[in-house]
Amino acid sequence: MTAFLGVTDSLTGRRWIGPGVETERLAAALTQGAGLEPPVAAVLAQRGVTPEEAAGFLAPALRDLLPDPMVLKDMDPAAKRLLAALRGRERIAIFADYDVDGGSSAALLICWLREMGLEATLYVPDRIDEGYGPNDAAMEALARDHDLIVCVDCGTLSHGPIAAAKGADVIVLDHHLAAADLPDCVAVVNPNRQDETGDLAHLCAAAVVFLVLVELNRRLREAGVKGPDLMAMLDLVALATVADVAPLTGVNRAFVRQGLVVMGRRQRPGLVALSDVARLDRPPASYHLGFVLGPRVNAGGRIGQADLGARLLSTADAGEAAALAKRLDDLNTDRREIEARVREAALAQAAERGLDAPLVWAAEDGWHPGVVGIVASRLKEHTHRPAIVIGFDGDEGKGSGRSVSGVDLGASIQRLAAEGLIEKGGGHKMAAGLSLTRAQLEPAMARLSALLAKQGAGTGGAGDLRLDGVMMPGAASPELIEKIEAAGPYGAAAPAPRFAFPSMRIRMTRPVGDGHLKLAFTDGGTGSIDAICFDAQRLGLDALQAHQGRPVHLAGRVELNHWNGRARVQLRLEDAAWAE
């Protein structure tokens, strides 16, 4: 394949890859047939959108994309049991995972039940003391005081703990990979059950809970009862979808787009307080869900009190929301410091082992279990390979993994557990957790590497930078950038588009912060754009300071920089190559 703009070895050591011939033809058809600007057409063409589909893609309607909840197994018994509990004013407990998806799922149910006049009990296990998912002691205790326990974002593999909930009914609303045998309970609503079609496997747990609420509202409506406004709850579904790295395709796109609109109305006290403490002074985009709000919601489950995130998302009290948001923001600062130490050590260890294998992994004593997942994500981003990071406490190791597109990590981890190579493990395609002993570590990682290699892990790498097309400074107006944003949201399975600005002249460079670089560039005409390059020193892009007037190809993501009420076009520079 011919290198894009002839760049085979950029300043970061990468080869540039542009759109293929078929994609370019589709982009041309979209420009002519749908009247789209070429950069917008290029983004849609990369996603295989035809001219006939363009209007629907740019304005996805949730009513057209929302699946019938009843296509999911066990939806009927789950809905019947929840409505019976509501009508009987029964005592309901919600057992939730400690991450954003679990907290959002719990908040959806708590808020829905509250609007129907019923307060539910929230229980979130401590990550260190109890680990992931239901445990015998907690389920026994909840069963003594409640009639119904609803497990959200967990429970699919919890046969023993669910059996321990004697005297209470249990419903599981989850999306993690299931085994052949399901727990003995009222219902397991999970698109990743082995007897499901897989058509809805991309949903996060909050989306599954939302579909349950859609079905509950439908049944209430048939009985002449008005249910809560579900559209107003899409902010929680959007937050969970992005934070759990669910693919932003199909109905997930509609969930996130509509959820961002709802979030922009600033009606949920918890998200308002969190946005304010994070100094988010503009309408949120999917980026903010994944990198600004999500990490703060997660901070309680990682290194603090496990239920803080769910409590923040479900509270109706602005004062309580402000206090919880401040606590989570402080914990997030602490989390970043802990993460930085573990990340540095893990990367050094993984580099010594080799970064070109199908699996990149690191393990050490004392690594905080609350940050191993996010460090695994950093390793994955750095190496473009699935990554596992494990912290040991004595002989017991708890780890977390993150995968790359096209490699199912959860299924491979689950296979290790079935083969007895680890104590337990599971998850979904992009993320998984595991527990193992020291003696199991090396054999398990070797076996996992082999399993992932069969799926193609390790064949790609950081050597390629994929670009959607070219753009010129004179065309990069705020209006065009807004239209490109309308082709989003961007995230998992829908990466934000990158464009190249060919043969530019650098007008100014200025080091900022800790190794970052600001610059301005022009095509020699009237068009000029500012750019920011984070980690320029580490990436080698600080070499642009010695440009001496040489023309340069610049590549990255074009965005709007909001400052003092004004929006200016800015390039988030990711790579560069001398044009001569």
Question: What are 83-118's pLDDT values in tens digits?
Answer: 999 999 999 999 999 999 999 999 999 999 999 999
Q: Which residues contact 35 (CB under 8 A, 6 or more apart)?
A: none
Q: H or E segment at 425? A: strand 424-427
Q: Is residue 146 part of a domain?
A: yes
Q: Which amino acid is at 137?
A: A
Angstrom CA distances, 270 to 153, 301, 304, 395, stand at 20, 16, 18, 40
Q: What is residue 458's predicted lDDT score, i.e. its pLDDT?
A: 79
Same domain, 368 and 431: yes
- Assess contact for 69 and 211: CB atoms under 8 A: yes
Return d(Cα 475, Cα 256) in angstroms, integer: 28
Q: What is residue 532's predicted lDDT score, i.e. its pLDDT?
A: 96
Same domain, 135 and 228: yes
Same domain, 118 and 141: yes
Angstrom CA distances, 52 to 12, 26, 35, 442, stand at 39, 12, 11, 53
Q: Is residue 63 part of a domain?
A: no
Q: Is residue 98 part of a domain?
A: yes
pLDDT at 167 over 80: yes
Domain that holds residue 31: 21-55
Final residue belonging to a domain, choices 454, 477, 511? 454
Angstrom CA distances, 170 to 78, 119, 143, 177, 407, stand at 9, 17, 9, 19, 33
- Assess contact for 359 and 387: CB atoms under 8 A: yes
Same domain, 102 and 244: yes
- Assess contact for 503 and 543: CB atoms under 8 A: no
274 confidence band (pLDDT: 50, 70, 90): very high
Return d(Cα 465, Cα 17) in angstroms, integer: 6
From the list 197, 199, 177, 198, the residue with the least C-alpha distance to 188 is 177
Q: Is residue 335 part of a domain?
A: no
pLDDT in tens, 199-212: 999 999 999 999 99
Same domain, 431 and 490: no
Place of tokens 């969970």: 240
Q: Is residue 345 part of a domain?
A: no
- Assess contact for 347 and 383: CB atoms under 8 A: no
Q: What size, in residues, is the chain?
A: 580
Q: What percent of the chain has pLDDT over 90?
A: 87
Assign 295 to helix, strand or coil: helix
pLDDT at 50 over 70: yes
Region of poorest pLDDT, from 64-78, 262-276, 526-540: 526-540
The 8-class DSSP code of residue 543 comes to G
Same domain, 298 and 250: yes
Q: What is residue 460's predicted lDDT score, i.e. its pLDDT?
A: 59
What does the mean pLDDT of the chain come to? 94
From the list 378, 361, 359, the residue with the least C-alpha distance to 455 is 359
Q: What is the arithmetic mean of pLDDT over 536-542?
A: 91
Same domain, 415 and 519: no
Angstrom CA distances, 359 to 177, 379, 383, 504, stand at 21, 10, 10, 39
Rounded to a whole number of angstroms, the CA Rg of the chain reads 24
Q: Is residue 496 part of a domain?
A: yes
Same domain, 362 and 312: no
pLDDT at 563 over 80: no
Q: Is residue 441 part of a domain?
A: yes
Q: What is the number of domains present in the chain?
A: 4
182 confidence band (pLDDT: 50, 70, 90): very high
Q: What is the arithmetic mean of pLDDT over 222-249?
A: 96
Same domain, 217 and 145: yes
Final residue belonging to a domain, choices 408, 425, 454? 454
Q: What is residue 128's predicted lDDT score, i.e. its pLDDT?
A: 86
Same domain, 271 and 178: yes
* Cβ neighbour number for residue 478 with a 10 Å cutoff: 12
Kindly report the CATH number assigned to the domain that includes residue 228: 3.90.1640.30
Q: What is the arithmetic mean of pLDDT over 526-539?
A: 89
Assign 444 to helix, strand or coil: helix
Return d(Cα 395, Cα 15) in angstroms, integer: 44
From the list 289, 262, 282, 114, the residue with the least C-alpha distance to 204 is 289
Same domain, 252 and 107: yes
Same domain, 229 and 377: no
Return d(Cα 544, Cα 554) in angstroms, integer: 10
Q: What is residue 500's predicted lDDT score, i.e. its pLDDT?
A: 97
Q: Which residues contact 272 (CB under 8 A, 6 or more apart)?
A: 266, 318, 321
Q: What is the pTM of this model?
A: 0.90
Q: Is residue 460 part of a domain?
A: no
pLDDT at 509 over 80: yes
